[in-house]
């Protein structure tokens, strides 16, 4: 029964949310509201502002020590793949501010007590699997083109990519493969986590609704994916320091994007029985 609850939600039947049509202007509105949530109480993000620079430094030292520089680009892209999971507390802050509250960081961390936590973990496990598969694919592609002896420095990787014959192939195919992974993550999770936090509909309905959202709003959602990818990449270029601002704003904006794309539960309950 617990497993059924995780997959199908708490109700007696599947709660299939109604999807609304949005425009690119709605994306800009979501970003604006996300920035407003971020600046409302920046003290909430003191911890984030410490974590992301430290993560950047640790990754740099790790890659330098273990000679794993070829995974630098995939790791940067990985922030976009697993970012929806890390943004859960930010969704909660936006949700509470929407209700007129002044949430604290402790309130934000209260998401761990969500009735849908089992479903959230199930979708999160799917994203972690995709992230691991992406790293393995990137490593396999690099070794196919350059062998199993990676460069020992970032300068060596840079020279390898831009001067050796296989460098252009690595850049083009690697980017294409990464885009495929990003598209799968976009389709399956763009509004899955906010939906689960808002309604305990189960992992299946959350993922299915996310896919329908993308299919029904293909152009705006593809633009959203490009915005997220570009913002994460630019934030990572600053030794990950920029992610301390980029990821929280994107996290809050995702909540507002969810509100614009999924009709309220009351609308569904008001529909006549089939």
pLDDT at 67 over 80: no
The residues, ordered by sequence, that sit 6+ positions from 167 with a Cβ below 8 Å of its Cβ are 160, 161
Q: How many domains does the chain have?
A: 1
Q: 34-48, 60-74, 211-225, 237-251: which has the highest mean pLDDT?
A: 211-225
- Identify the domain containing residue 87 by its residue range: 17-101+115-264
Higher pLDDT, 14 or 82: 82
* Domain assignment present for 226: yes
58 within some domain = yes
Whether 3 is covered by a domain: the verdict is no
Q: Is residue 123 part of a domain?
A: yes
pLDDT grade, residue 2 (50/70/90)? very low
Question: Cα(274)–Cα(256) distance, rounded to whole angstroms?
Answer: 30
Closest by Cα among 201, 189, 3 to 115? 201
Residue 84 forms part of a structural domain: yes
Residue 4 lies in a domain: no
Is the pTM for the entire model greater than 0.75?
yes
262 phi, psi to nearest 5 deg: -115, 125
Of 26-40, 153-167, 258-272, the range with the lowest mean pLDDT is: 258-272
Q: Is residue 110 part of a domain?
A: no
Is 133 domain-assigned? yes
At residue 44, the pLDDT reads 56
């Amino acid at each position: 029964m617990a497993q059924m609850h995780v997959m199908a939600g708490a109700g007696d039947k599947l709660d299939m949310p109604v999807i609304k049509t949005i425009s690119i202007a709605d994306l800009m509105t979501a970003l604006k509201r996300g920035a407003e949530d971020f600046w409302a109480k920046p003290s909430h993000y003191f911890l984030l502002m410490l974590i992301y620079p430290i993560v950047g430094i640790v990754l740099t030292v790790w890659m330098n020590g273990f000679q794993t520089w070829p995974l630098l680009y995939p790791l940067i892209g990985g922030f976009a793949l697993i970012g929806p999971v890390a943004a859960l507390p930010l969704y909660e802050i936006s949700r509470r501010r929407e209700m007129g509250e002044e949430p604290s960081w402790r309130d934000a961390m209260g998401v761990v007590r969500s009735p849908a936590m089992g479903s959230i973990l199930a979708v999160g496990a799917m994203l972690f699997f995709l992230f691991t598969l992406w790293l393995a694919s990137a490593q396999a592609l690099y070794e196919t083109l350059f062998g199993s002896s990676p460069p020992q420095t970032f300068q060596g990787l840079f020279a390898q990519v831009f001067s050796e014959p296989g460098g252009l192939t690595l850049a083009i195919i690697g980017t294409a493969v990464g885009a495929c992974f990003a598209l799968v993550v976009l389709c399956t999770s763009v509004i899955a986590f906010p939906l689960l936090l808002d309604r305990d509909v189960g992992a299946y309905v959350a993922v299915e609704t996310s896919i329908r959202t993308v299919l029904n709003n293909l152009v705006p959602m593809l633009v959203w994916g490009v915005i997220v990818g570009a913002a994460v990449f630019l934030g990572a270029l600053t030794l990950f320091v920029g992610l301390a601002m980029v990821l929280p704003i994107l996290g809050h904006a995702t909540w507002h994007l969810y509100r614009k794309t999924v009709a309220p539960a009351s609308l569904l309950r008001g529909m006549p029985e089939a």
